Amino acid sequence: DQQVKQNSPSLSVQEGRISILNCDYTNSMFDYFLWYKKYPAEGPTFLISISSIKDKNEDGRFTVFLNKSAKHLSLHIVPSQPGDSAVYFCAAIEPGTYKYIFGTGTRLKVLA
């Protein structure tokens, strides 16, 4: 059973517009979430994180929003750039462990 779900396998956005990537989770005990970006033939790289005590965290063009009641988080990229084209993974840390639970990823394509 997938505890972290990314229901959109792919997303296309025009350069300069906003990209919104979504992630849902089932375990209300998750208290820390991360987004990773992955280019082909490379390992995932950390992008941004958020603790469950916050509902928003911002880093430059990237903002993550957390809605605990809906068990939903989203990553906003504004403005989107062609170099943002990659697969984005959402992950949650299983409480009391060091395990990351990853979603299946969303492939973002930013069109020039």
Partner 1 sequence: DSGVTQTPKHLITATGQRVTLRCSPRSGDLSVYWYQQSLDQGLQFLIQYYNGEERAKGNILERFSAQQFPDLHSELNLSSLELGDSALYFCASNMGSSSYNEQFFGPGTRLTVL
Piece of 29-37, 53-61, 62-70, 75-83 that binds partner 1 (CB under 8 A) = 29-37
The stretch among 12-20, 33-41, 55-63, 73-81 that binds partner 1 (CB under 8 A) is 33-41
* Closer residue to partner 1, CB minimum distance, 16 or 95: 95
CA distances (Å), origin 112, targets 16, 61, 77: 9, 17, 15
Cβ atoms within 10 Å of 105's Cβ, excluding its own: 20
Applying CB under 8 A, the span of 14-22, 40-48, 56-64, 67-75 interacting with partner 1 comes to 40-48
Lookup result for tokens 């880093």: 59
CA 42 – CA 84 distance, rounded (Å): 14
* Residue 100 binds to partner 1 (criterion: CB under 8 A): yes
